[in-house]
Homo-oligomer: A and B are copies of this chain.
């Protein structure tokens, strides 16, 4: 039986965006659907003791340069020409992440994620600014008023906490993280292994 593929993401991670953009091609090759799951990176870092690459690589310029090069290679390999690094990075993503849980309830998860990712890493506008965030939703044809009114509803906040705690409980320490069944893979550079593990489990 074909295993589930789950993808824990936070909008604030450019590497998660890059992985997100290659999911349609991966889904087509494997004949399956990848399940996108919001997991707040701030909460993950707090729980695991991990830090963002921006922090850990600040004192190691040649390693930071190499990681940028690996991102450039990934972008070139998959022709992700719409990508632009967001000049406002790092951006607090709490409202965007809560919004993704609300979007699930509104049955608008996929268009919401697409709109917010485009705002973050294609238009590369300051999505930490609520006016900018709301304009991006409106421009994408989403019901902005529902997000204004309900993004901080207790059940929406609780849903994001639960999704984040689920990720932490499974060993997630950063973004993007993938599961093929119970097997975890971290980072955009392990997508080939994700595909191979899917094929292996599907054949088992």
Which chain B residues lie closer than 8 Å to A61 at the CB level?
A: 48-49
Docked CA distance A138–B65 (Å): 43
Q: How many copies does the complex hold?
A: 2
Q: How many residues of A contact B (CB 8 A)?
A: 23
Interface of chain A, main secondary structure: helix
B192 near A62 with CB under 8 A, answer: no
Residues of B within 8 A of A60 (CB): 48-50, 173
Contact A186 B66 (CB under 8 A): yes
Cβ-defined contact, A66 with B171, below 8 A: yes
Contact of A192 with B189 at beta-carbon distance under 8 Å, contacts A49-B60, A60-B50, A173-B66 already known: no
> Distance (Å) between the CB of A43 and the closest chain B CB?
14
| Residue from B49, B63, B192 within 8 A of A59 (CB atoms) | B49
- 8 closest A-B pairs by beta carbon, nearest first, are A49-B59, A63-B173, A49-B60, A62-B173, A50-B60, A62-B171, A48-B62, A50-B63
